Amino acid sequence: MKKMAFRAPGLLLTFWLALAGSLFGQMVAGRFNQVTTLLPGEVSTLHLRAIGDSSALLLVSQSGGNFQQRNLYGRLALSGPPENRTTPALQQDLRPLTSLKDRIVDVVFAGDGLWLLTYSDWALKPGLYRYSPPEPPRAMTLGLPDSNLLVLKALIGLAPGHLVAAGYREAPDGAVVGREAVLVFLDPAASRAELLPLGVADQEDGFEELLRVNDSLLVVAGYRREGASRTVGRLIGLNPKTRNIVFETAVEGFFPRDLVRLPDGNILLAGGQDGWQDLDAALIQIDRSGKILQRWQSRVTGRDEALALGVSLDGRVLVGGYRREVPWYGKFQVKPLRLLLSKQGDPTGVEGRILALSETPAGLLFLAGSGRNRAGQSAALVIVEKSSSPAAFPPRIELEARFQDSSGDGMLAPEEAFSLEIGIRNQGKTALVSGQLVLEKPPSDLQFDGPLVQPLPMLFPGDRQTWRLTGRAAGQLNPQGSALLVRIRQRNARTLAEKTVPILRAFQNQMDFRVEAYPTTIQPGDTNQIHLVIRNASPVDFSKLHYKVTAGLDDAVLSGDLEGELLFFSSGKQARRKIKVFVPQGGATGALPLVVSLYSAEAGFHVERTVQLQLPESKAWTEEEWEKLTKNLPTLAQGYKFKPDLDIDVEAHIPQGPAPDPNRFAVVVGIRDYRKPIPPVDFALRD
């Protein structure tokens, strides 16, 4: 072989190139290292959310008999970092929700709690619960008159405290159509609901999934049945504010199961596609106008389906489902849509299907679903895989926040309603994963309607999201007042952006500060020492107040105690500060304004006071005076009378030069006043 390689290098090179060409761009297939089964029992629904570098929250509904469900909620965590060949032990802390017997259909993670959309198999109607561990779930009023005809399948949050659900409405007895697709806009705090029918006349349809793309686009996916065997997938784009339909796209033979927003702003749907022999796993990419851009279909022997979607840290698409009754996971490239990695089953032959997946900021992928353990018993299953490398650089977040009181006068009165509008834009090159919107230590006299910690959806580079938080002021406002600190951070407590929002209380329009200056007249060309007196004439005591002094003229130079803090500045107290003011000779006339800025970050206000320092009038040379001066310059130079006590050698003994020359001239310039803080030269003119 060595000899052949030496004599025929071209043949050997051709062999390696052919081998590399056959492998280049091909999908990598394999098996899961380990599938963990837990919670014996038939799984109805399952929900998963990564909460740290190596942990996730799991919510499971299992059939409990007698039309009741057994619901469990808790944390999954790894005992150590995953390795290439072995999966570390999976630790669980799942606890039953004993007070909740209905099946949990969908979950919205909101701040320090969850919204739970449920369905009662006994009462045949949906329900809504607010769950803030460790408190038990609290039932909310839907506000729908005919809720017993509703079957809701999906729930998402639109704004804090506002939700939208999707599903279908059963037709009353005797109707031709069996079900009609609907959206339900929910305001749980006000017990209000708005039902929006979106069904097709004389056809049976329903919605399965929802996606909030941005503030003006909501995408809902479902399907309708035409006849006994024909199924058409329905994709509808809707403006959630106006309720106007933006687009409607039909996909023949498609059963949508999940959808996700891609980094480029397009939408990807996962589900099943009618194949030649059986159902195939399928992906469909659409833009925000509903146009189909790309499609992928598995086309393998046997039944398979894509049930769960996600986007990895490196921008790839993560898909979970089943293939021939064993768990299946795939990783896809987006442009073009192509399968890069495929894993299914494990060496022990556990059956099941993946229903949910979630990736951690450290690049660990949690997959969970339903299946059968090695003994053939129904159970939940959990798989942990290394999905992608964590982002090398954190996202760069731009934060905007604006406070608005209900009256619009900018002053918050007792018991007045207010709103806080927050805008977040990702200006970096990596996505924001597991982010949080945090109101850090809000003032005690502000009462917010929602939680102080809000989870953020994945924010891709260039994305912008807005939130509107509402609340009400307390009956008695804090005399000290304070501003509000808004932070954007990741779940590892790393702060990505923060902004201080000033909040003016109504009593702060009584803020009165007096500023006086002594003396009130300054001399140009001289360094003038000024005493400033700042007095707190308002009824509020301040533990700390900041001040800053600036000049209202460009050519004025200030020095001294120009900036600092006034500590324990109580009502009626005054403080003295010394400053120095220099204005050049022949500069401005009239008055020099001194601006004193007083501000408090704690009380959230800023005021300015101005005092005027008078400047003497500067007389300009007339043409006659200037002619007389220039005419008598030699006389002035020869006959200048110096003070007798001055003995200046250079003036008493002027060196003699050569003979006078009438064609030579000398120009002598004496500079007495300078713009910069340099003392004036008193004898410049005489010299």
Write down all domains in the chain, each with its CATH number in brackets. Answer: 397-506 (2.60.40.10), 510-615 (2.60.40.10)
pLDDT at position 236 over 80: yes
Q: Which residues pair with 58 in a beta bridge?
A: 48, 74
Reported as a single tens digit per residue, the pLDDT across 557-616 is 899 999 999 887 887 899 999 999 988 876 667 888 999 998 876 556 678 899 999 987
Q: What's the pLDDT at 393?
A: 60
Residue 631 DSSP one-character state:
H
Q: What's the pLDDT at 673?
A: 74
Q: What is the DSSP string of 638-676?
A: HS----TT---HHHHSPPP-SS--TT-----------SS
Reported as a single tens digit per residue, the pLDDT across 285-322 is 999 999 999 999 998 888 899 999 998 877 889 999 99
Q: How far apart are CA 456 and CA 680, in angstroms?
A: 62
Query: What percent of the chain has pLDDT above 70?
Result: 80
- Tell me what the mean pLDDT of segment 506-524 comes to: 79
pLDDT at position 257 over 60: yes
The H or E element containing residue 11 is: helix 9-23
Q: What's the pLDDT at 37?
A: 86
Q: How confident is the model at residue 390 (pLDDT cuts 50, 70, 90)?
A: low
The H or E element containing residue 15 is: helix 9-23
Q: Which residues pair with 440 in a beta bridge?
A: 485
Q: Which of 213-222, 407-416, 609-618 has the lowest mean pLDDT?
A: 407-416
Q: Which of 435-444, 580-589, 625-634, 652-661 has the lowest mean pLDDT?
A: 625-634
- Tell me what the mean pLDDT of segment 413-417 comes to: 86
Q: How far apart are CA 389 and CA 392, in angstroms?
A: 8
Q: Give all strands of the β-sheet with 527-536 in edge-to-edge order.
A: 513-518, 527-536, 574-582, 557-560
Tell me the CA distances in angstroms from 600 to 507, 547, 564, 573, 611, one per residue in order.
Answer: 15, 9, 12, 16, 21
- Tell me what the mean pLDDT of segment 626-640 comes to: 51
pLDDT at position 386 over 60: yes
* Most trustworthy range by pLDDT among 79-88, 259-268, 507-516: 259-268
Q: What's the pLDDT at 638?
A: 44
Which residue, chain included where needed, has tokens 């808790």?
74
> CA torsion 556→560→564→566, rounded to 10°?
-110
C-alpha closest to that of 545 among 576, 512, 567: 567
Q: How confident is the model at residue 648 (pLDDT cuts 50, 70, 90)?
A: low
Reported as a single tens digit per residue, the pLDDT across 127-183 is 999 998 888 999 998 887 777 788 999 999 887 778 999 999 887 655 555 788 999
The H or E element containing residue 627 is: helix 623-631
* Percent helix, strand and coil across the chain, each to the nearest 5: 5, 50, 40
Residue 375 or 41, more confident: 41
Length of the chain: 687
Reported as a single tens digit per residue, the pLDDT across 328-359 is 999 999 989 999 999 988 767 788 999 999 98
The H or E element containing residue 16 is: helix 9-23
Question: Cβ–Cβ contacts within 10 Å for residue 684, how many?
Answer: 12
Q: How far apart are CA 340 and CA 35, in angstroms?
A: 21
**622-632 burial, b if ≥16 CB within 10 A, otherwise e?**
eeeeeeeeeee
Residue 265 or 535, more confident: 535
Residue 405 or 632, more confident: 405
pLDDT at position 552 over 90: no
Residue 299 DSSP one-character state:
-
C-alpha closest to that of 345 among 358, 329, 367, 368: 329
Q: What is the pTM of this model?
A: 0.63
Residue 182 or 538, more confident: 182
Q: How far apart are CA 46 and CA 107, in angstroms?
A: 9
Q: Output the average pLDDT for the chain.
A: 80
Reported as a single tens digit per residue, the pLDDT across 94-122 is 999 988 989 999 998 875 678 999 998 88
Report yes or no: 109 and 97 within 8 Å, Cβ to Cβ. Answer: no
Q: Give all strands of the β-sheet with 484-490 in edge-to-edge order.
A: 453-456, 435-440, 484-490, 495-501
Q: What's the pLDDT at 270?
A: 96
Q: How far apart are CA 157 and CA 285, in angstroms?
A: 23
C-alpha closest to that of 269 among 225, 302, 236, 229: 236
Q: How far apart are CA 324 and CA 241, in angstroms?
A: 43
Q: List the structure tokens of 11.
A: 């043949």
Q: How far apart are CA 305 and CA 257, in angstroms?
A: 9
Q: What's the pLDDT at 650?
A: 57
Residue 650 or 463, more confident: 463
Q: List the structure tokens of 389.
A: 């490398």
Q: Which of 22-26, 194-198, 232-236, 424-428 has the lowest mean pLDDT?
A: 22-26
C-alpha closest to that of 153 among 198, 228, 218, 103: 103
